[in-house]
Amino acid sequence: MADGLSSFWGPVTSTNEWCEKNYVYSSYIAEFFNTLSNIPCILLALIGLVNSSRQRFEKRFSVLHLSNMILAIWNILYHATLYRVLQQSDETPVIWETLLYIYVLYSPDWHYRRTMPTFLVVYGAAFAIVHSHMQLGIGFKVHFLMLCLLCIPRMYKYYLYTDDLRAKRVAKVYAVTLVAGTLCWLFDRVLCRDSWPVNPQGHAMWHVFMGINSYFANTFLMFCRAQQRGWAPKVVHYMGILPYVKIRKPKVR
C-alpha cells in the first residue's frame, strides 16, 4: 500500500504488496503489524523447543520448533524492510520447513531411511537455486500449496488413529487455525480496499494464526511419535491453557 513516513531502509523492492500501508508508525518498520505479528510464533516455538529438549524428544522436533522460530525472524526482517532479497530469504525457508514436515510425517513408514532425507535435501537445494534465478511468483505459491496438500492427508490419518481426546482437540485446533489463517490471507490479498476506514490486518492475522497452527501441529506430531515409540504420552497444559506433551520413557535395564 502507499507509503506514510520516510523510509530508513530505502525504496521498496518486494514484488508483493500487502494491504497494510507502509511506514505509518515508524521509519524503521515498513509494515508495522505484519512485522510484530510474528512474535507469537517465536514465543510458542521457544516453548515447544524447551519442552522437546527437556524431555529428550527426537532431534527432529527440536529442529522443527527451531525452524519455526527462524522462519518467523526472517519474516520480521522481510516485512520490516520490504526488500526483494529478504522476500526470497523468507519464501525459500517456507519450502524447506514444509519439506521438514513431510519428513516428520512420512518417515516412520519409510523403509529406506537414508533415501528420503537425501531426496528432500536435494529437492530443497534445487528449489532454492531455481527460485534465486527465476524469482518464482505465483509458481512459489502453487508449489507451497502442493506441498501443504501432501501434509494434510497424513495429519488426518494420524487423527483417525488417535484415541486420546486431548490429542484430538490439539489436532482440531491445528485444523481450525489453518482454515482461519488461510481465509485471513485470502481476505487481505483479494479484498483489500483503500476506501476501508479501518484495515482488518488480514495478513498480520495470518501470521498469528499460523504461529498457533505450527505450535499445535508440532504438539500433535510429538504425541503421535511418542505413541509410536511407546513413551506413554499425555497432553497436559501450562497454567491450564497451553497444551504440551508429557512422556514417560521406559527404563533401560
| Per-residue pLDDT, 5 | 64
| Per-residue pLDDT, 63 | 95
**Shortest CA distance to 150 belongs to which of 98, 205, 202?**
98
| Per-residue pLDDT, 89 | 80
Higher pLDDT, 79 or 139: 79
| Per-residue pLDDT, 102 | 94
Confidence category of residue 170, pLDDT binned at 50, 70, 90: very high
The pLDDT tens digits for 36-75 are 999 999 999 999 999 999 999 999 999 999 999 999 999 9
| Per-residue pLDDT, 70 | 94
The pLDDT tens digits for 145-165 are 999 999 999 999 999 999 999
Mean pLDDT of 99-122: 87
Other C-beta atoms lying within 10 Å of the C-beta of residue 183: 14
| Per-residue pLDDT, 153 | 92
76-85 CB burial, b ≥16 within 10 A, e <16: bebbbbbbee
| Per-residue pLDDT, 253 | 61
Residues 6+ apart with CB under 8 A from 36: 204
3-state helix, strand, coil in the chain (%, to 5): 65, 5, 30
**Shortest CA distance to 225 belongs to which of 217, 235, 233?**
233
65 annotated to bind ligand: no
The pLDDT tens digits for 180-228 are 999 999 999 888 887 678 888 999 999 999 999 999 999 999 999 999 9
Higher pLDDT, 136 or 35: 35
Phi, psi of 244 (to 5 degrees): -150, 165
| Per-residue pLDDT, 4 | 57
Mean pLDDT of 126-131: 88
CATH topology of domain 32-247: Rhopdopsin 7-helix transmembrane proteins (1.20.1070)
Amino acid at 168: K
**Shortest CA distance to 135 belongs to which of 30, 16, 35?**
16
17 annotated to bind ligand: no
Mean pLDDT of the chain: 90
Output DSSP code: residue 244. E
131 annotated to bind ligand: no
The pLDDT tens digits for 81-106 are 999 888 888 888 999 999 999 999 99
Higher pLDDT, 239 or 221: 221
pTM of the predicted structure, to 2 decimals:
0.91
Confidence category of residue 107, pLDDT binned at 50, 70, 90: confident
38 annotated to bind ligand: no
18 annotated to bind ligand: yes
Which range (14-28, 104-118, 220-234, 235-249) has the least confidence? 104-118
203 annotated to bind ligand: yes
CA angle 3, 28, 39 (to 5 degrees): 105
C-alpha to C-alpha distances, 243 to 30, 167, 218, nearest whole angstrom: 34, 9, 11
CA angle 128, 213, 142 (to 5 degrees): 40
